[in-house]
Amino acid sequence: MLPALFTVAFLPLKNHVAFANIAMTFLLIVVVTAVVGGLLPALAAVVLSAALLNFFFTEPFHTPFIADAENIMTLTVMVAAAVLVAIVVNRSAVRAAEAERARREAALLFSFARIILFDDNPADRLLARITEDFELESAALEEFDGTHWHTTDHARCQPSKPVEVKIQVVQVSPDVRLVVAGNELARDDWAVLETAGFQAVLALRHQRMSATAAEAERQADAAALRNALLSALGHDLRTPLTSLKTAIGSLQDEQLRFSPEDRRELLSVADESAAQLSGLVDNLLDSSRLVTGAVRPNLGNLAVEDAIARALRHVTESDSISLDIADNLPEILADGGLLERVIANLADNALRHGGKGVTITVRAISDDVVISVADHGPGLPLGPRDETFAPFRRRGDRNMTTGIGLGMSVAKGFTEAMAGTIEVAETPGGGLTVNCAFPAVEYAGAGEG
């Protein structure tokens, strides 16, 4: 169309504009056509431009002949230059398109590789990414089990524009294939999709290896927990059971005569042993609930002072614990039963290791209410502080008469289940301080005295 339009435009001016200038204008038309349409349209523009120039702008006009030799040379050079320019421009456009396609393919493959390396479920995410990038309706990875194909992973997507659903299969390996549904893919996209199919297989294998490794780690942790439990139970349950059995057996022996003081002492031993057994069983059950994920906190607004009072009723020698609770504390968002267990465990742990000098301090700090349980015992053992909360971890791991080593672990698990935080620090002057922070709840009377 451009050669025809320019011919109409130049016809009134052909006696006033040099033929060479008109020929250069038609050369520009060829360049524009090559950039927009490619090589074949450009060559068609060359032929049409040469014919129009000859027919309308060289004497004798309206004939295929050219009378002036100079015009023949000008037209010949224009045609040759136009053909060369069309070829060069087309080649540059092809190279640019190839470079852009290679860049896009590299970006896609890089994103696929990142998904495989860093995503928790790489196969699922990769298939979803394939559907998005190629505007497909669905993509599925199928495996052959010897008799039939079955879908291992799949993803669906809502394309941004209507698609003609067509099933296309990429055979990745003899027993794995990628099945996609959507518009028919171009040849270049098909090559990228084949590579994506191999990436999907790698993602599936990576996902299975990660699952296998996680299961192996879980079994190893379970085995270690079981061994530690059996080791701990061998001593920690036997000691109170022996004391309880001895006390009850002595009281039941009709041949033995006890004074009222001796009888009260034996009953006290039996009661303390039963309480110790009850605490051990409670911690074992709580630890089991945490390991199996069975802890479901019932969060509500709680007054910290009331929770501490209820918790200390279940702590032996709680009368020796000092309380320092700030006035006008806001309520916290927590589970009453779980919070009592946390406070009781921390207080009991502090009493066993810190003696009589145990203090429970409660302060409102920022948007939290922080409960601090401090003792003046031996303090933190050497090693990472997180090990303080490890199951079956006693302070120093030497004293086998101070509990089964689950109190701190249960306290940490319950605190985090209630969206709180727990950490340990050195008590000024020596000892261990455990700080538990829970979200504060604003209420109408929070600012009143």
Asked if 373 and 358 count as a contact pair (C-beta separation under 8 A), the reply is yes
- The verdict on 310 and 349 lying in the same domain is yes
50 shares a domain with 92: yes
Residue labelled with tokens 């709580």: 286
Taking the C-alpha atoms of residue 435 and residue 280, their distance in angstroms, rounded to an integer, is 23
pLDDT for position 400: 38
pLDDT of residue 402: 44
Q: 41: cis peptide before it, omega within 30°?
A: no
Same domain, 60 and 148: no
Short-list 77, 10, 82, 75, CA closest to 45: 82
427 with 312, same domain? yes
Q: What is the pTM of this model?
A: 0.46
Do residues 341 and 295 make contact, with C-beta atoms less than 8 angstroms apart?
Answer: no
Domain end residue (candidates: 182, 200, 219): 219
In a domain, 152, yes or no: yes
- Report the pLDDT value the prediction gives residue 84, as an integer from 0 to 100: 79
Which residues are registered as beta bridge partners of 181? 138, 167
Same domain? 73 vs 168: no
165, 192, 219 — which closes off a domain? 219
| 161 is a domain residue | yes
Distance of CA 145 to the CA centre of its chain: 32
DSSP string, 9-76: HHGGGTTTS-HHHHHHHHHHHHHHHHHHH-HHHHHHHHHHHHHHHHHHHSSSTTSS----HHHHHHHH
Q: Give first-to-last CA distance, the chain, whole Å.
A: 90
Q: Establish if 244 belongs to a structural domain.
A: no
Domain, as residue range, for 330: 299-393+404-439
CATH number of the domain that residue 420 is part of: 3.30.565.10
Say what the pLDDT of residue 234 is. 59
Q: 167 and 49: one domain?
A: no
pLDDT the model gives residue 361: 95
237 phi and psi angles, rounded to 5 deg:
-85, -30
Q: Of 171, 187, 219, which closes a domain? A: 219
How many independent structural domains does the chain possess?
3
- Counting Cβ atoms within 10 Å, is residue 69 exposed (0-12), middle (13-18) or buried (19+)? exposed
Asked if residue 18 is part of any domain, the answer here is yes
Q: Note whether 303 and 433 are same-domain residues.
A: yes
Using DSSP's 3-state secondary structure scheme, residue 317 falls into: coil
The phi and psi torsions of 186 (rounded to 5 degrees) equal -70, 165
Task: Report if residue 234 sits inside a domain.
Answer: no
Question: Are 190 and 312 contained in the same domain?
Answer: no
Instruction: Examine the domain organization and report whether 71 and 194 are in the same domain.
Output: no
CA distance 92 to 79: 20
Do 41 and 151 sit in the same domain of this protein? no
- Residue 339 is assigned to a structural domain of this protein: yes
Could you read off the pLDDT tens digit of each residue along the chain, which spans 449 residues?
Answer: 878 887 777 777 777 777 777 777 777 777 777 777 777 787 787 888 878 877 777 778 777 776 667 767 776 777 787 787 778 877 887 788 778 777 777 777 777 777 766 776 777 777 887 888 777 888 888 888 888 888 877 777 666 666 667 888 888 778 888 888 887 777 777 777 777 777 777 777 777 787 788 888 877 766 766 666 665 565 566 777 888 888 888 888 878 888 888 888 888 888 878 877 776 677 667 666 666 666 778 888 999 999 999 989 878 778 889 999 999 899 999 988 889 889 988 998 888 877 667 999 999 998 899 999 999 887 766 555 556 666 555 544 444 344 446 778 888 888 988 989 999 988 888 888 999 999 998 743 444 43
Under 8 Å CB-to-CB from 340, ≥6 apart: which residues?
A: 307, 310, 311, 314
Name the burial class of residue 74, with classes exposed (0-12), middle (13-18) and buried (19+) by CB atoms within 10 angstroms of its CB.
buried
256 falls within a domain: no
- Helix residue ranges per DSSP H, 148-259: 187-236, 238-252
- Co-location of 203 and 128 in the same domain: yes
In a domain, 13, yes or no: yes
pLDDT at 448: 43
Q: What is the predicted pLDDT for the residue at 224?
A: 66
Same domain, 51 and 88: yes
Determine how β-strand 176-182 pairs with β-strand 138-144. antiparallel
